Structure 1
Amino acid sequence: MSNNYMANFPVQVILDSDRYIQEVLPHPGGSRKDFYSGKNELFSSHKEKITTQLDSVSVAFSENQYSSIGYTKVRLITNAWAKSHRPLGKIFTTNNGCTMVGGLRQGEMLVRLSAESASLIKNEIIEHAEDEPRRSPNKEGILMDRPSEWRCEVGTIDSIIPYGAEDKLKINLEDIHSWIEKYGTCQFLIELFDKPIPQQNWDTLMEEEYKLHSSFINGLKTHTGLCIYRSKILSSDTKFILLLTDKEDVTVSLFDSIQHNSTAEVTHDIGKYVSLLEFISGHPIVKSIDIVPIVESNPIPSFNIDGTEELIIPQPSSESDYPTIAVVDTGISAIYAPWIIDDWDNISVNMRDTTHGTFITGLLVNGQLLNSSSVCQDPDGCKIIDLCMLPKKDKFSSVYPNSLDDFLGELNVAIPTILSRTDVRIFNLSMNIRCTRLSSDYGEFAKALDELAVKYNIVFVISAGNLMTSRPEWSDNPIDNITEWNKRDDDIVYMPAESCRNISVGALNPTNNGLTSYSCRGKGSTLTVKPDFVHIGGLGYIDPEIGTGLYSVDNNSNITYNCGTSFSAPLVAKTMALVEKQIEGTVSRETLIALMVQNSHIPSAFNRPEYQTMLKDLIGYGMPTSAHKILNGDQHSINLVFASRIKPKKEMVFEFMWPQCLIRNNKCYGDVKITLVSTPAIDYNYGDEMIRGNLNVTLSQTKGDGTSQYYLKPLYKEEAVREHGEYEWQLINENMKWQPIKVYHKEFKRGTTHYSPWKLRVSREDRDFNVVDNEGIPFTIIMTISDTSLETNVYDEIRQTLVAQGVQIADIQTAARITQRI
C-alpha cells in the first residue's frame, strides 16, 4: 500500500511554513513627489482649477436645502494612485473637517466635508501651495527644488466633484416600470453614507449634523405609502429596503428588520416614484438606490427536451467514501433520495420545479456514466445536501416577499444549520441575477456570499450566467470569434459570480472545447479574474446526433440533455469536493482554491496567439484537471505547498536550490509555476479599492553584482515581475496587484544563469497606514517545478534535498496529522 501510494508522487506540504516568516527588510516607500516639477506655469493653472472646484463644492453644499454637509469624489491622477501620494497629510484632514469614507473607481476617493471645510481648504491651498518651490543646495552643492507638502498634494488631484444624483441612482423610471410588469413588485435597496441617529439623540448633534439626519427622516415621512426598514443583507446598519404602496400611512423603521408580507399593494403610480427619486437623489446622506434583484436559476433552453430512455439510478456503495456537495437550487427529485444525506426544505411541493436541481444532481452522482471521462473527469458518486431555496419563478415573491433580503436571510439560517449536522465544505450555486452589470458593479448577493464563505470556511461554486441574448457559435477562425466578442459589452458575468471570495465557472462546448454561445465571460470587477474556471456546459443548440452533448436525467429518471453554466459549475464543484475529501483534516479555503487554480490548463481551442491577451476574461485560470491528478503528480515535477499567515511588516522568504538534474553548463532549465491565494480584508465602501491588503510573490536569484534577477511573469503576460514598480497603476494592470488570486509562470527553454540559491518571497502591503492585524492575511502558495522534457526525476531530487536541509515536509493527504494549517 505504501509503495503504491508513494508511486503517485503526492503534493508536498511544507509543514513549518511559519519558520520562514521574518521581519521585512526596510524598503523606502514613495517619497514626497512633485508631479509638476519644472512645470510651474502648469501648476498655477492646475491650482486655480482645483480651488475653483472647491469653491463650486462649497457653493453647492451651502445651497443644499437639507444640510451643508456633503460628499465629494476626489479623483487622483493615474500616477498618484499609491497610498504614499494621496492628499491626506495636508488637504483632506480631520483638522480641515474632512473624513475619507470610501472610494469608487481606482484612484477615486470619497470624502465627507462641509461647505465651510471646502472653503477653508481652498484658502489654505491658495496660501500654502506655492506656484514656485523654494530651492536649496543638496550635499553636492547642486540647487534642488524643495516643494512643500501642500504643492505635492495639490498636484496629485485630478478633480474634486460633488457626489451627485447620477452617482446615486442605479435605476430610472423605465427600469421601475419594467420590473413591476415582469415581477409584480419593485423594492429598492437604499444605502446611506452615515448610519441613522435615533431621534432621542438628535439633541447631541451639531446644527448641520442635526439637519442632515432629521431632514432625511422627516422627508421620508412626506411620501405616503412608503415603507422603509433595515435590511438583513450583511447585517448592515446603513442599508434599507424601501417600497411604495397605495396606502396613506408611512412606515419608517431604520433600526429594525421587519417583515413586509404583501406584494400586491406595491403602487403602479409612476408619480410617486418620481417624487421619491427626486428626494433620494438630492439628499446628501444617501449613497445609492437600486432595485432589489430577483434570484433565478439559469433558465432551461427554449428547445424541446424529450427524454425517452430511463436510467436505473445507481445506489451508493457502503464501501465507498464519497465527496459531499450542497446543492443550493430548486430542490431535487426523489429519484436521488438514497444519495441525499440532508436537506433544507422551506418551499412547499406545489411551489417547486425540481428539474434544474435534478439535472445538476445527475451530473454529480452519475455524470461519468452518462457522459465520458473527458466531460466528467472524476469517478461517479456524490453525497448530496439538498438546499431547496428557489421556487418556481412565478412563486418567488410569495416565498420571499422581501426579495433578495429574505432569500439571503434564509441562506444565513440554512448554512450554519446544515454545517452543524454535516461536514460539507463545497456549495454549488447555479443561480444568477439575470441582468447586465458593469465591470465595476459589486452586488449585495456577492458581498453576502463573501461573508458566508469566510465566516463558515466554505466555498461557493457559482455559475457565470447564461446570456439573455447569445453570441454566434464558436468558430475555428479566431478573428471571427474576437470580432463577435468585441461587439458585446453586456456579456460579463452575472451577479453573484463576481464574488472574489468564491469561484465562478463558465461553459465550454463538448465538441470543440470552445466557449459556448451563451456563457458569460470576464470580468468580475476591475480587479478580479472572472470566471475563475471553465468546464463543459453543453452546446447552445441542438445537434441532430448528440443534442447538446451533456447528459443527465429529468425528474422521472429519463435520460435527457441540457446546457448552461448551471451545469458546468457542478463539474468543478465535484472536483473540488473530491480534493477536499481526500485530504485528512480541515484544509483551508486558500489551499483548496490554489490546488484547483494551479492544476488548470488552457483548453486546446484557446491555444492560439490571437487569444493571448483575452484569455483571462474568457476562461479565467482554465479548466481544472481531475482530483486524482491534482493531488498526485509524476516523477518529472514536484508541487510544494506553503500555508501560513503574514502580518504587517512581515514577509516569507524561502531559499532553495534548483535541482541539479535541471542544471546544465551552469544554466537552469525547466519550468516553474506559482499560484498564490490569499484572503485579505475587504471594505466595500472603497469600491474598486475594496481589497485592502495585498500579498506579492517573487522568485529571484542574486547576481554577482548584488542585484536581483526576477523570473516570474503573470499568467498570460510576457514581462517578468519585479518586486517594485514605478507606478501603482502599472502594478495593478500588469502584475495583478491587489488580486487575491495570482498566478505566475516561467519556462526556461534556453536556460538561465545559475548564480546562487533561489529565493521565493511573499511580501505584504496594505492600502491603509498603521494597520493593526493580529491574525495576519491567510494565504497558500503552491510552487511547481517541472522538467518539460519529461526526462529527469525532479520529484525525488528536490524532496531529498529539502529533507537534507532540515525542511519539514509531508504528503498533503496526511499533513494535517502534523500541522494545523494546510
Structure 2
Amino acid sequence: MASPVQIILNPNNFSEDRDKPGGGGPKTDFFLDDDIGFVAHRQNVLKQLADVRAGLQRQAPTFGPVGFVKVILRRKAWAKSHRPLHVLFSERRTRLVGNLDLGELIVEATPQALAEIEAEVARAEDHTQRRFNERTKKMEAVPTPRRSETGAIDSVELYGAGDRRQFDLDQAVVWLSNPKTGGQYEVELFEIPPVPANYDIAGFRRQLFESFTAGLQHLGTGLDVHALPRRVGSEQPTYAVRLEQSAQPPIVRMLPSVGERGRAIAPFDPNRDRHARLVKFLESHPLVKKIELPGVVVRSEGVVRTRPQTATIQQRDRAKAWPRVGVIDGGISDAALGDWVVGRWDPLAAQDMDHGHGTFIGGILVAGSAMNGPQTSTDADGVELYDIAVYPNSDNAFANYYRDLTGFLDEVENAVAEAKAQHGVRVFNFSMNVQVLVSAGHYSKVAGRLDHIADTHDVLIFISAGNLNASAGRPEWPATPDMALQLMAASQNDGIQVPAESARNVSVGALNPAGLGAHSVDHAPARYSRRGPGLRALVKPDFAFTGGSGTPMQPLGHGLYSVAPNGSLADSCGTSYATPFIAKQAAILDSEIEGEVSRETLVALLTHHAQIPLPLSDKTLNVIARQLCGHGMTAPVASVLEGGNHQITLVFATRLEKDRQMNFRFSWPSCLVGPGNACRGSARLTLVSSPPLDQRFGAEFTRINVEAALQQEQISRGGEVSWKGQLKPLYLPISGIEHPYEAERVEHGMKWSPVKTSGATMPKGRGASTNWRLVVSYLSRTDNDEMPDEGVPFTAILTISDPKMEQPVFQVMRQQLLQSVQIADIRTAARVVSRV
C-alpha cells in the first residue's frame, strides 16, 4: 500500500511562546585551577592590547583616532554567551562591525577605549573562585566576568595590511588585464563615507573619511572609483577602483550613481608602479576591510564528444503541462532541442554563442533518463526549457556585453525575472563558477547576489560545485575506505568554487556512472568533482549525482550521454552535467505539487530522501562524504512523494515569528510501542529554513539559527516532566561523542546551517512514554534583534518508520493524528492551505 507524503494543514495551531535560551549557564572559567596559566595569559592579553593601542596612536595623525581591531577567541569560547562583549569590548567602548572566520570578531575602537579595556583586564582576579551550590550540593567555579572574558580571548590584533590583501601584485596586474574582469579592484569598506557636507556630524570618524577620499584624489590622473550596487543594507559597501590610461582628473564617487555611467571607458593601465602605489594606500588605510580581485565566470565543463548515433528526443505534447527549467548558459541549439524551448532570453549575437554546453544540459533535462538508462535516472523525461543565453564564447565578447561580473549578474537577474513572470519558471540551472575557491570565512558577493535573486524572485538556482582541471584531478576512487582517506588527505586546492556556497540555492557535485567497468567505482565521487564545505557552517555541495567519469574508456567514453548542437548523441563529464539531473527533480516536484511550493519545501524534500552512495557509506568516511556529496544522492521523485505503508512522512511548512516556536505533540505509532511504552523504529528529521543573511559577518553570516528537535517525554521518580531529544545530527564523526562546545556544534551538528538533518534507529525501543513532540525554535546572534518582522520561513519533514518494513505505520499513525490534526496529501494540499 502506498503512503503519500502528508502535510500538516494547520501548523499555526501549534505555535506558542518561545522557550528563551538559557544563555550558556554561569560564566566559564577557561583557566579553571590553572591560576599560573591565567596570570601569564592575562599579561599576554595586556601586552597585545597595549601594542594595538600604540598602533592606533601612531596612525591617528594621518587617519584620526579610530581603527579596527581583531579579537580572536579561543575555540572553546565561540558560543555567544562566552564572547567578551559585555564587560571588556562592550557597546559603550567599541562597536562590533563584523567577523572573519568563526570566532574572529572585528570591532571599531579608539586608544581611549583600549586603555579602559586594559584596565578591566588588569583587574581580573588571579585565582579560581568557587561557591557552594545549594541545589547541586557541589562547589562550583564562579569567575567574575572580567576573568571569564579575558580567558575567552586567544589574541588581540590590529586589523592590518595582511588582513586586507591576499594576492600578489604582479599576479594582480596580469589578472586585471583580462577584459572579463573590467580591470578593476573590488574594495570593501567598513563604512560608507558621508558626503563632505555631512563631515561635521561624523565626529571622531571625520578624519578617517576625509583621509580616504583625499588619498584617492592624490593618486593622480586616470583613476576611476565608483560604488558597486548594494541590494540589501547588510552587504559590505564595495567600490570598483580602476587605473586607466587617461589624462582625466581622478573620478571618485563614494555614493552609488543612478543609472549607467555616461562616459567612455579608457583602456586599462598595466603600469606596475601605479598599481603598487594604489594598493599600498588601500591596504594601509583603516577604513578598508578587504581588497579583492574580481571574479571571472567560467563554465564548469568537460569536452563534449559527439558520437555517430543520432540522439532520440521525444516530441513535446503541447497539450500537456510539463515541468520547466531555465538554463543559464551560452544558448540551446534549435536543431537539437528547439521543440522543447518555450522562451528565450538571448542578448548575444549569433557569432558570440556556443551552444555545446547549454545544449548538453538541455538534453539531460529533456531526455536524460532515456539516454542514460535506469542505472543513472528513473525520473520521467520531458522538461520545457527557457533558454537564457547570456554567456558569450570569448573573453573580449564578455567584456563588450557586460564589462564585469556585476554586469553579467544584472543580465542574469533580468532574465530570471522575465522567465518567472512570463513563463512561471521557478527552477534554474547555473552550471558556471567563478575562478575563486570558496573561503572558510568569507561569504562571497557572487553567492550573495544569487541568494538575493532567489529571495527577490522566489526561485531556486542549481549551481555546479566546480571541476578540477584535468592536470589537477585526483586519481580514480580506490576500492577501500583506508585508501580513500589517503587519497583525500593528499588532495590539495580542490575546494568548491564560488558561488557554490550559496545559502538559498543548491550546489551539486558529481559521481561516477554505474557499469563502466573495473577502472571506475560505481557512484564514487568523480575524480574532477570539487569538495566542500567552503563556509564551515554549511553543507556544500548539497548533493551529488551522476556526472560522467573523468577517465573516458572505449566504447562507453565518459559514460554520460546527452545531445550535441547538431542533434547527434554525445558524451561528456562534469559537475555541470550532474547539476541538471537534480534541477529536473526539483522542477518535477514543483509541477506535481499543486499551487506555489515554497523553496524550503522543495529543498527539504530533496534533502530528506537523499542517501550517501555506497562507496562513501563506511563510517570512517563520514566527513569526506559530507565534503564530496553533501546530503547524498537524491532519490527518484516518485519515491520522494510516496513511500510504503511501513512509514509515514509529515511535512510542516510555516514561519517562525519573533518570540514564538512550533510545538507539535503526538503519540508514537502504537504499532511500534513495546512493553513499558518503549518506542522503537526509525526517525529522520530534515529542517530547511531561510534565515536572514549578513555578508559583513563572514563565516557567521547566518544571523538566526533555526533548530528542530524530536523529543520524548521523561517522567522522574518525583513526577517531574521533562523532554529529551532522541535524534543526533547525521554528520557526527565516527566517535559519535556528544560535543559540548560551539565549535563542534557548528562543524558537526550544523548549528547555524539553514539545512539540517538528524535521525536515529531504535531497534530495542527507547524511553517509557509514548508522548513525543517536535519543537522548532530559533536562536539569534544578537539577543533576538535580527528576527525579521515577517519571521523566518521553514519546512520540517519528519519520517517515522519500521526498519523491518512489517508494521502498518502509515495507517496507524494517520488515524491517530486525524483525531486532532488536519493533514492531507502534499500533492493536493494547496486546495486548502496557503503555504506548502
Question: What is the TM-score of this pair, normalised by structure 2?
Answer: 0.92
Distance 1:725 1:651 in 2: 25
Following TM superposition, by how much is the alpha carbon of 1:568 offset from its aligned partner in structure 2, in angstroms?
A: 0.4
Q: Which residue of 1 aligns with 2:199?
A: 202
SS of the counterpart of 2:651? strand
- CA gap 1:423/1:743 in 2 versus in 1, 3 angstroms: same
Following TM superposition, by how much is the alpha carbon of 1:387 offset from its aligned partner in structure 2, in angstroms?
A: 1.0
Q: 1:521 aligns with which of 493, 514, 531?
A: 531
Quick check: 1:352–1:391 contact (8 Å CA) kept in 2? yes
Amino acid at match of 1:786: S
Quick check: 2:305–2:571 contact (8 Å CA) kept in 1? yes
Q: 1:217 aligns with which of 206, 213, 216?
A: 213
SS of the counterpart of 1:307? strand
* 1:644-693 Cα shifts (integer Å, max 9, x gaps): 22234322222222222223334433211110111111111111111111
Following TM superposition, by how much is the alpha carbon of 1:314 offset from its aligned partner in structure 2, in angstroms?
A: 2.8
Are 2:38 and 1:43 aligned? yes
Distance 1:262 1:515 in 2: 48
SS of the counterpart of 2:706? strand
Q: 1:786 aligns with which of 775, 788, 801?
A: 801
Q: 1:697 aligns with which of 698, 708, 711?
A: 708
Quick check: 2:330–2:390 contact (8 Å CA) kept in 1? yes
* 1:115-154 Cα shifts (integer Å, max 9, x gaps): 232223223433x434357888876999987643333322
Quick check: 2:164–2:290 contact (8 Å CA) kept in 1? yes
Q: 1:483 aligns with which of 475, 486, 494?
A: 486
Amino acid at match of 1:293: G
Following TM superposition, by how much is the alpha carbon of 1:259 offset from its aligned partner in structure 2, in angstroms?
A: 4.1
Q: Which residue of 1 aligns with 2:642?
A: 632
Amino acid at match of 1:794: V
- CA gap 1:634/1:40 in 2 versus in 1, 3 angstroms: same
- CA gap 1:435/1:144 in 2 versus in 1, 3 angstroms: closer
- CA gap 1:347/1:23 in 2 versus in 1, 3 angstroms: same
Quick check: 1:22–1:653 contact (8 Å CA) kept in 2? yes
Q: Which residue of 1 aligns with 2:155?
A: 159
Q: 1:560 aligns with which of 561, 570, 583?
A: 570
Amino acid at match of 1:73: K
Quick check: 1:233–1:448 contact (8 Å CA) kept in 2? no
- CA gap 1:612/1:721 in 2 versus in 1, 3 angstroms: closer
SS of the counterpart of 2:681? strand
Quick check: 2:665–2:772 contact (8 Å CA) kept in 1? yes
- CA gap 1:138/1:431 in 2 versus in 1, 3 angstroms: closer
* 1:443-490 Cα shifts (integer Å, max 9, x gaps): 211011111112221111000111122111122233333222111231
Amino acid at match of 1:322: W
SS of the counterpart of 1:474? coil
Q: Which residue of 2 aligns with 1:429?
A: 430
Are 2:399 and 1:398 aligned? yes
Distance 2:796 2:180 in 1: 49
- CA gap 1:83/1:142 in 2 versus in 1, 3 angstroms: closer
Distance 2:481 2:784 in 1: 49
* 1:202-229 Cα shifts (integer Å, max 9, x gaps): 23333x4221111111111122321111
Q: Which residue of 1 aligns with 2:284?
A: 282
Distance 1:715 1:203 in 2: 56
- CA gap 1:612/1:734 in 2 versus in 1, 3 angstroms: closer
Distance 1:721 1:651 in 2: 28
- CA gap 1:184/1:371 in 2 versus in 1, 3 angstroms: closer
Distance 1:495 1:573 in 2: 19
Quick check: 2:325–2:583 contact (8 Å CA) kept in 1? yes
Amino acid at match of 1:568: A
Q: Which residue of 2 aligns with 1:307?
A: 307
Amino acid at match of 1:363: I
Are 2:389 and 1:359 aligned? no
Distance 1:420 1:510 in 2: 37
Amino acid at match of 2:453: L
Following TM superposition, by how much is the alpha carbon of 1:499 offset from its aligned partner in structure 2, in angstroms?
A: 0.7
Q: Which residue of 2 aligns with 1:242?
A: 241
- CA gap 1:320/1:698 in 2 versus in 1, 3 angstroms: same
Q: Which residue of 1 aligns with 2:517?
A: none
Segments of structure 1 that go 5 or more residues without pairing to the other structure are: 1-6
Are 2:588 and 1:578 aligned? yes
Following TM superposition, by how much is the alpha carbon of 1:45 offset from its aligned partner in structure 2, in angstroms?
A: 2.6
> CA-atom RMSD, angstroms?
2.5
Quick check: 2:49–2:156 contact (8 Å CA) kept in 1? yes
Amino acid at match of 1:243: R
Following TM superposition, by how much is the alpha carbon of 1:432 offset from its aligned partner in structure 2, in angstroms?
A: 0.5
Distance 1:362 1:134 in 2: 70
Distance 1:622 1:277 in 2: 44
SS of the counterpart of 2:53? helix
Matches within 5 A, 1:336-485: 336-468=337-469, 469-485=472-488
Quick check: 2:428–2:460 contact (8 Å CA) kept in 1? yes
* 1:750-798 Cα shifts (integer Å, max 9, x gaps): 3324423122222211111142543222111101111221222111111
Amino acid at match of 2:607: V
Distance 1:541 1:721 in 2: 36
Distance 2:442 2:262 in 1: 28
Amino acid at match of 1:797: V
Q: Which residue of 2 aligns with 1:103?
A: 99
Amino acid at match of 1:714: P
Amino acid at match of 2:39: S
* 1:685-730 Cα shifts (integer Å, max 9, x gaps): 11111111112222222234245443212114379999x9743223
Distance 2:371 2:162 in 1: 52
Distance 2:509 2:538 in 1: 15
- CA gap 1:147/1:793 in 2 versus in 1, 3 angstroms: closer
Q: Which residue of 1 aligns with 2:167?
A: 171
Amino acid at match of 2:459: I
Distance 1:719 1:369 in 2: 39
SS of the counterpart of 2:709? strand
* 1:362-387 Cα shifts (integer Å, max 9, x gaps): 11112222221332321111111111
SS of the counterpart of 2:732? coil
**Higher mean C-alpha displacement, 573-582 vs 372-381:** 372-381
Following TM superposition, by how much is the alpha carbon of 1:87 offset from its aligned partner in structure 2, in angstroms?
A: 1.7
Q: Which residue of 2 aligns with 1:267?
A: 269
Segments of structure 2 that go 5 or more residues without pairing to the other structure are: 515-521
Matches within 5 A, 1:798-813: 798-804=813-819, 806-813=820-827
- CA gap 1:146/1:615 in 2 versus in 1, 3 angstroms: closer
- CA gap 1:123/1:262 in 2 versus in 1, 3 angstroms: same
Quick check: 2:311–2:562 contact (8 Å CA) kept in 1? no
Distance 1:289 1:60 in 2: 21
Distance 1:95 1:601 in 2: 50
Q: Which residue of 1 aligns with 2:299?
A: 297
Following TM superposition, by how much is the alpha carbon of 1:747 offset from its aligned partner in structure 2, in angstroms?
A: 1.2
Quick check: 1:651–1:762 contact (8 Å CA) kept in 2? yes
Are 2:745 and 1:745 aligned? no
Q: Which residue of 1 aligns with 2:519?
A: none
Following TM superposition, by how much is the alpha carbon of 1:71 offset from its aligned partner in structure 2, in angstroms?
A: 0.4
Quick check: 2:589–2:637 contact (8 Å CA) kept in 1? yes
Matches within 5 A, 1:728-739: 728-739=742-753
Q: 2:57 aligns with which of 56, 62, 70?
A: 62
Amino acid at match of 1:477: T
SS of the counterpart of 2:113? helix
Q: Which residue of 2 aligns with 1:680?
A: 691
Quick check: 1:427–1:461 contact (8 Å CA) kept in 2? yes
Q: Which residue of 2 aligns with 1:551?
A: 561
* 1:586-625 Cα shifts (integer Å, max 9, x gaps): 1111111000001111222223344233211121111111
* 1:51-101 Cα shifts (integer Å, max 9, x gaps): 2212111111111132321101111222222222222222223432x1011
- CA gap 1:605/1:42 in 2 versus in 1, 3 angstroms: closer
Following TM superposition, by how much is the alpha carbon of 1:513 offset from its aligned partner in structure 2, in angstroms?
A: 1.0
Q: Which residue of 2 aligns with 1:317?
A: 317
Q: 1:591 aligns with which of 597, 601, 604?
A: 601
* 1:552-591 Cα shifts (integer Å, max 9, x gaps): 1111111111111101000000001000111111111111
Amino acid at match of 1:496: P
* 1:397-446 Cα shifts (integer Å, max 9, x gaps): 43345311111222232222322212111111000113444333422110
Distance 1:474 1:139 in 2: 59
